[in-house]
């Protein structure tokens, strides 16, 4: 069959959880099917090229600095990406799998599917309510975006939710449960277990992720300040990039933590093993995010043997939360001090059998079931 992935960001040129997920799915499907990927043109990408048997079609040069404006995704770039989605009308596909964001593009893809008798599958990592939309965009624009998003998200023929929590939120929107599949093939557990990290275990708290407001890295830094008051014999590391980076570095500096917290940029592509080694050599991964459909980095940390601490307000689904140490925000510094002094960090790992739910080994089986449900195999054979 001919399958098209549509997303404004493409891994590994743009680092993110959903991007990594779609990359894994596309790469595995490309072993069997004719797979294309339509995206923005991130640094290092050509206009058209092949990689991992995937045909990439890129449009409009983009960088992190232009992708985000004023700490949030640029509306201008979202509109440009959606206009660029009309390029897909030149091709004929059996199925489109599209990232739900930036949402503006969904009706365009639905129109294509109606004309081409194609099926639209939406990748959904987060479902925003009215309150979040108005907080993100302001009162009038936020309410309009909420109404539009609810209309657009109902246009899918099928949905791939990244967790049980996301699936429930889709159902509350009125989407039939029969259309929703829960799937997150984000982990090559065997590969992660083979990662070797030379050097002594660090009494270190680590975080890696996009440096945006929703990740609450400012709270993360303030917790390091409280931890430093009760135990100065530790170090911390933040690995990531984003619009909040300079502000966060300034916050660390103003609180006298410049020498305590090390900032590093994302490791690119083939260097990702260096990120895994940093995590493996750390005592604990602290994740304070306030908005998270499913955090791949949490799963990777657990698979690497490094326990994760979450605040009680963390929105990650229960199947992930059950593997972590969950504490009230005010108690986290004390818990971190305890874990940093422990000689057995594995004692803080919980329910690690849950990792099997996120293994890449189930990808082919999941899509075979999805495509049969949508009668895609029969259609492809007729064509």
* Pair 232, 371 in one domain: no
Q: Indicate if the pLDDT at residue 269 is higher than 90.
A: no
Length of the chain: 383
Average model confidence (pLDDT) for the chain? 93
Nearest to 264 by CA among 254, 285, 249: 249
* Pair 205, 276 in one domain: yes
Q: Is residue 220 part of a domain?
A: yes
Beta strands 72-73 and 68-69, pairing class = antiparallel
* Pair 226, 139 in one domain: no
Report residue 7 CA to chain centroid gap. Answer: 13
Q: Is residue 30 part of a domain?
A: yes
3-state secondary structure of 227: helix
CA dihedral 245, 250, 255, 256 (to 10 degrees): 100
Q: Indicate if the pLDDT at residue 71 is higher than 80.
A: no
Q: Is residue 383 part of a domain?
A: no
* CATH number of the CATH domain containing 323: 3.40.50.2000
Given a contact cutoff of 8 angstroms between Cβ atoms, the answer to whether 305 and 283 are in contact is no
Both tokens assigned to 261: 């917290």
* Pair 108, 228 in one domain: no
- Per-residue pLDDT tens over the stretch 116-166: 999 999 999 889 999 989 988 889 999 999 999 999 999 999 999 988 889
Nearest to 235 by CA among 254, 263, 273: 263
Q: What is the pTM assigned to this prediction?
A: 0.72
DSSP state of 343: S
Q: What is the pLDDT of residue 379?
A: 57
Q: Looking at 47-56, 241-250, 269-278, which range is the least confident one? A: 269-278
Give the residues across from 235 on adjacent strands: 204
Residue 156's contacts (CB-CB under 8 Å, 6 or more residues apart) are: 120, 121, 122, 175, 179
CA distance 189 to 350: 16
Q: Is residue 20 part of a domain?
A: yes
For residue 38, give the H/E element and its range.
strand 34-41
Task: Please compute, for residue 87, the number of CA atoms within 13 A of its CA located in the half-sphere on the CB side.
Answer: 20
Q: What is the pLDDT of residue 219?
A: 97
Q: Indicate if the pLDDT at residue 196 is higher than 70.
A: yes
* Pair 263, 224 in one domain: yes
* Pair 28, 105 in one domain: yes
CA distance 215 to 209: 8
Domain span at 140: 2-185+359-378
Count of CB atoms within 10 A of residue 342's CB? Answer: 14
The fraction of the chain above a pLDDT of 70, given in percent, is 98
CA distance 63 to 159: 29
* Pair 181, 197 in one domain: no
Nearest to 95 by CA among 58, 122, 126: 122
CA distance 127 to 224: 31
Q: Is residue 35 part of a domain?
A: yes
* Pair 24, 10 in one domain: yes
The fraction of the chain above a pLDDT of 90, given in percent, is 76
* Pair 145, 291 in one domain: no
Q: How far apart are the first and last CA of the chain?
A: 10
CA dihedral 155, 160, 161, 162 (to 10 degrees): -150
* Pair 164, 39 in one domain: yes
For residue 48, give the H/E element and its range.
strand 48-51
Given a contact cutoff of 8 angstroms between Cβ atoms, the answer to whether 85 and 105 are in contact is yes
Q: Indicate if the pLDDT at residue 380 is higher than 70.
A: no
- Per-residue pLDDT tens over the stretch 308-333: 999 999 988 888 999 999 999 999 99
Q: Is residue 153 part of a domain?
A: yes
* Pair 363, 351 in one domain: no
Tokens 């916050």 correspond to 251
Q: What are phi and psi of 347, to 5 degrees?
A: -70, -15
Given a contact cutoff of 8 angstroms between Cβ atoms, the answer to whether 300 and 146 are in contact is no
Q: How many domains does the chain have?
A: 2
Per-residue pLDDT averaged across 21-47, rounded?
A: 95
* Pair 349, 372 in one domain: no
Q: Is residue 29 part of a domain?
A: yes
Q: Is residue 176 part of a domain?
A: yes
Q: How far is CA 126 from CA 12, 74, 169, 281, in A?
A: 21, 18, 9, 31
Per-residue pLDDT averaged across 208-228, rounded?
A: 95
């Amino acid at each position: 069959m001919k399958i098209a992935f549509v997303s404004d960001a493409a891994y590994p040129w743009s680092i993110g959880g959903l991007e990594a997920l779609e990359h894994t799915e596309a790469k595995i499907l490309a072993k069997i099917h004719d797979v294309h990927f339509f995206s923005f043109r991130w640094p290092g990408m050509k206009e058209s090229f092949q990689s991992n048997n995937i045909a990439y079609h890129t449009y409009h040069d983009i960088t992190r600095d232009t992708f985000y404006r004023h700490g949030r995704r640029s509306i201008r770039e979202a509109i440009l990406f959606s206009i660029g989605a009309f390029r897909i009308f030149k091709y004929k596909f059996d199925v489109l799998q599209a990232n739900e964001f930036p949402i503006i593009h969904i009706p365009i893809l639905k129109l294509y599917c109606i004309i081409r008798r194609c099926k639209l599958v939406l990748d959904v990592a987060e479902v925003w309510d009215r309150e979040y939309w108005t907080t993100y965009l302001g009162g009038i624009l936020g309410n309009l975006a909420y109404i539009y998003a609810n209309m657009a998200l109902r246009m899918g023929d099928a949905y791939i939710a990244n967790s049980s929590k996301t699936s429930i939120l889709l159902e509350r929107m009125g989407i039939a449960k029969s259309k929703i599949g829960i799937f997150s093939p984000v982990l090559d557990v065997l590969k992660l277990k083979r990662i070797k990290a030379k050097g002594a275990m660090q009494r270190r708290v680590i975080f890696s992720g996009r440096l945006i407001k929703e990740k609450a890295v400012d709270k993360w830094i303030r917790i390091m300040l409280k931890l430093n008051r009760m135990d100065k014999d530790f170090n911390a590391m933040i690995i990531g990039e984003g619009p909040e980076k300079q502000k966060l570095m300034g916050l660390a500096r103003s609180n006298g933590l410049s020498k305590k917290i090390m900032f590093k940029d994302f490791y690119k592509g083939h260097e990702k093993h260096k990120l895994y080694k940093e995590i493996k050599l750390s005592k604990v991964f602290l994740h304070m995010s306030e908005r998270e459909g499913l955090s791949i980095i949490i799963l990777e940390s657990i698979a690497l043997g490094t326990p994760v601490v979450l605040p009680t307000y963390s929105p990650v689904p229960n199947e992930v939360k059950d593997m972590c140490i969950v504490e009230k925000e005010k108690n986290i510094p004390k818990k971190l001090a305890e874990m940093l002094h422990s000689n057995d960090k594995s004692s803080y790992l919980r329910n690690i059998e849950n990792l099997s739910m996120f293994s890449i080994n189930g990808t082919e089986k999941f899509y075979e079931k999805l495509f049969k449900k949508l009668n895609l195999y029969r259609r492809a054979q007729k064509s």
